[in-house]
Amino acid sequence: MIAALFFYLFSAVLIASAFLVITSRNPVHSVLFLILAFFNAAGLFLLLGAEFLAMLLVVVYVGAVAVLFLFVVMMLDVDFAEFKQGFMRYLPVGGAIGAIVLLELVLVVGGWRVDAASLANVASPAPPAMSNTLALGRVLYTQYAYLFIAAGMVLLTAMIGAIILTLHHKVGIKRQDVAAQNARTPKDAVELRKKSFRQGV
């Protein structure tokens, strides 16, 4: 009963905040609503007993990704009003399509019955008396090693892509060269000169 109550609470807030992410005029508000949405999603995970995923969501998405977003949004002065110019123009069409798809999905998902046959298909059922983290760890590096490595390659690609598209080697800029700094000795850097007293340099 309590679980059901919290489920509906989390879900309602999640949907509402997701909606506000799109509609709010201030981008900073959008990101804040996004963070709220993440928290609620984490709550839903908790209700399902997936505490590891819930924590992951909070730590990674809220702690890292969303905060990064916030920085970016605040640092770049993006004029979101310009972006949203066409919004009202296309609202009727977009709204209609969205409504149709939504209606149809409701029709479909409404008739969803989780039958026994489907449950029997589950690839790695969570073993009883084992923590979430342990269960994930057991299969992640064994059964799903291939997929794990593939995911690693995806991240590597993203990294390379980000670097190649954004890193500019501008000429005429002084950069910090740690090796050069460490290699410096007082002899290279400092020069002592005898100067006679009370005279200009």
Partner 1 sequence: MTPLSLALAHSLPEVILAVGVLGLVLYGALRGKASDGPVTEIAVGLLGAAILVILLGFKEQAILFDGAVIDDGFGRFMKVLALIGSLTALVMGQDFLARERIDKFEFPILVLLATLGMMVLISAQNLISMYLGLELMSLALYVVAAFNRDDLRASEAGLKYFVLGALSSGMLLYGASLIYGFAGTVDFAGIAAATQGHVSIGIIFGLVFLMTGLAFKMSAVPFHMWTPDVYEGAPTPVTAFFGSAVKMAAVAITVRVLMTAFPGAEAQWRQIIVFISILSMALGAFAAIGQTNIKRLMAYSAIGHVGFALVGLAAGTQEGVFGVMVYMAIYLVMTLGSFAAILSMRVAGHAVEQISDLSGLAKNNPLMAFFFAMLMFSLAGIPPLAGFFAKWYVFNAAIQAHLYPLAVIGVLSSAVAAYYYLRVVKIMYFDEAAPAFDPPTPALRVVLAITSLFVLFLFAYPALFIDATATAAKSLF
Partner 2 sequence: MYAAILFLPLIGFLIAGPFGRQLGARPSELVTTSLLFVAALLSWIAFANVALGEEPGSVALLGEWFSSGALRAEWTVRVDSLTAVMLVVVTTVSALVHLYSIGYMSDDPSRPRFFSYLSLFTFAMLALVTADNLLQMFFGWEGVGLASYLLIGFWYQKPSANAAAIKAFVVNRVGDFGFLLGIFMVFVLTRSINFEQIFAAAPGLANTTIHVFGAEWDAMTITCLLLFMGAMGKSAQFLLHTWLPDAMEGPTPVSALIHAATMVTAGVFMVARLSPLFEQAPHALSFVIFIGATTAFFAATVGLVQNDIKRVIAYSTCSQLGYMFVALGVGGYSIGIFHLFTHAFFKALLFLGAGSVIVAMHHEQDMRNMGGLWRKIPFTFAMMTIGTLALTGFPYTSGYFSKDAIIEAAYASHRPMAFYGYLMTVIAAALTSFYSWRLVFLTFFGKAQWADEGHGAAAHSVGAAAVAGHAPDAHAADAHDDHGHHGPLNPHEAPIVMLIPLAVLAVGALFAGLIFHSDFIGEGFNEFWKGSLFLGPDNHILHEMEEIPHLAALMPTIMMVAGFLIALYMYILAPATPARLAAAMPALYRFLLNKWYFDELYDKIFVRPAFWLGNLFWRGGDGAIIDRLGPDGVAARVVDVTGRVVRLQSGYIYHYAFAMLIGLAAIITWYIVGGVR
Q: Which residues of the shown chain bind partner 1 in the complex (CB under 8 A)?
A: 104-105, 108-109, 111-112, 114, 117-123, 143-147, 149-151, 153-154, 156-158, 160-161, 163-165
Residue entry with tokens 């490595």: 149
Alpha carbons 84 and 23: distance in angstroms, whole number: 10
User: Applying CB under 8 A, does 94 fall inside the site for partner 2?
Assistant: yes
Alpha carbons 5 and 44: distance in angstroms, whole number: 11
Nearest-10 Cα torsion for 15, 132, 157, 75: 50
Q: Specify the residue, 96 or 130, whose C-beta has the smaller distance to partner 2.
A: 96
Q: Among partner 2, partner 1, none, what binds residue 94 when CB lies within 5 to 8 Å by partner kind? A: partner 2
Q: Measured from the CB of residue 84, what is the shortest distance to partner 2 in angstroms?
A: 11
Q: Measured from the CB of residue 112, what is the shortest distance to partner 1 in angstroms?
A: 6
Q: Which two tokens stand for residue 132?
A: 């979430």
Q: Specify the residue, 129 or 153, whose C-beta has the smaller distance to partner 1.
A: 153
**Count of residues engaged in binding partner 2, rule: CB under 8 A:** 9
Q: Measured from the CB of residue 101, what is the shortest distance to partner 2 in angstroms?
A: 5
Q: Among partner 2, partner 1, none, what binds residue 86 when CB lies within 5 to 8 Å by partner kind? A: partner 2
Residue entry with tokens 């200009």: 200
Other CB atoms within 10 A of residue 127 CB: 9
Q: Which two tokens stand for residue 101?
A: 């798809």
